[in-house]
Amino acid sequence: MLHLGFPAGLWALGALAVPLLIHLVRRPLQVVRVGQLPMPPGPPRRLAVWRWREALKLLLRCALLAVIALALAQPEWRPAQPEPVRLALRVPGSAWSSETDAAWRRLRADGAAAHWLAADFPESTEAEPKAAEFSGPWSLLRELDARVPAGSRAVVFGPTDATRFAGSRPTLARLQVDWWPTDPASPPARGAGSAAPPRVAVLAAPDRAEDRRFVRAALGAVAAIETVDAPDWIVQLGDVALPPALAARVEAGAVLVRDAGGPPLVSDGERTFSPGPARMTLRQRAAAPADGRVRLRDSAGEPLWTETRQGAGWVWHWALRFHPDWTDWPLHAEFPGWWAEILRPGPEASAPLSARQAAPAFAAAAATDSPALPPLAGFDLRLACWWTALLLFAAERAWTWAQARRAAA
């Protein structure tokens, strides 16, 4: 069945009135009375043939405008009764073991369509979506349930750490989901707690000496080991180069924590933020990176702490400095508490869900219940419409040019 993604584009069909009016409403030719004229040389020309050709050219021009209007309406062909689909979904930011890869390949060989579990559900052959495009597995699976026909099945490959699952466990009506647990390729704060002391490297520019003192004091309070030898956490304060060895650690899975890299853009003592239970005053702040998932905002709603992927690791970017001139946070007891929480996550934050708990519940929909959103699979006809319009335009121009040549002959 033909579906239109933007039906308002059909208003462009009103342009058909232009060639019709030009064809039907013409100024009468001026009659000039002359004497007898000799017959023109060459074969006789029949007026009926010219009228037939003009009518056909009119139809060609109307068809050109109609195809353009259809292209603007974003046509898509979908089956009248879509069949259930089988999907293999990969959660961004998950580690990929040999066993997981083998299971993924088996599903693909059995005909399952592979997609990222992210915004717009891109195919797995595309680049891994950014963290900002991942709003949580349950909310995305709810959206997917509204897109697929009843009886569809999906296998999700992703971590099951509890921090990824927000809200209550959903119940799906058309999509039955199984979960294949994988290891998270994210920092320990997302679930992989360890009894060993955290290993942290601290790099500071010359103008960040005071900031480094506060960070070191917080790390000492949580018994972290400060070292540049294979650290799991790297703190980069100010404009200081990251050595290649530490950059490789981030690519391999370490976490890089950066403070504000530029000068302060906002100096507003009324702004606050809450890295923990208490609210902290925000005296100064800088601009946050445009990309990345927002993990904390200030009281004005602007991003203050964002995270982005870098290889198998993460980059945490703060839009402030760890200095009392910027915020009173370094002077508060919650500052070492925040470092303790991310470096040594408690058992509640690190406890993973079981595969059965991670997968949404399922209650089969009625046979007449149809998807509320457009399906994932559909044949987009816009490109075909534009190519057809181009061919019709070329045919109309060629015909007009040929008529002009015959008339001049």
What is the separation, in whole angstroms, between the first and last Cα of the chain?
49
Query: Whole-model pTM?
Result: 0.43
Specify the pLDDT at position 88: 92
Question: Would you say residue 258 has pLDDT above 90?
Answer: yes
CA distance 97 to 105: 12
Supply the DSSP symbol for 210.
H
Range with the lowest mean pLDDT among 13-17, 115-119, 205-209, 295-299?
Answer: 13-17
pLDDT tens sequence across 326-356 = 999 998 888 988 898 888 654 444 456 778 8
**Which two structure tokens, joined as six digits, stand for 34?**
């002359």
Closest CA to 286 of 314, 312, 318: 318
Our measurement of the distance from residue 255's CA atom to the centroid of its chain's CA atoms, rounded to an integer in Å, reads 23
CA distance 233 to 93: 18
Closest CA to 376 of 85, 161, 108, 177: 85
Q: Provide the residue count of the chain.
A: 409
CA distance 195 to 123: 39
CA distance 290 to 270: 24
Specify the pLDDT at position 204: 93
Which amino acid type is present at position 144? L
More confident residue, 5 or 259: 259
Average pLDDT of the residues in 373-380: 56
**What is the pLDDT confidence band of residue 312, given thresholds at 50, 70 and 90?**
confident
Which amino acid type is present at position 179? W
Question: Would you say residue 377 has pLDDT above 60?
Answer: no
Range with the lowest mean pLDDT among 9-13, 226-230, 285-289, 358-362?
Answer: 9-13
Supply the DSSP symbol for 133.
G
CA distance 203 to 221: 19
Residue 312 CB partners (closer than 8 Å, separation 6+): 95, 185, 251, 252, 253
Specify the pLDDT at position 28: 56
Residue 152 CB partners (closer than 8 Å, separation 6+): 84, 85, 86, 87, 174, 175, 176
- Burial string for 160-193 (b: 16+ CB within 10 Å, else e) reads bbbbbbeeeebebbbbbbebbbbbbbbbbbbbee
Element housing 313 (H / E):
strand 313-318
Average pLDDT of the residues in 305-318: 88
Number of neighbouring beta carbons within 10 Å of residue 406: 9
**What is the pLDDT confidence band of residue 323, given thresholds at 50, 70 and 90?**
very high
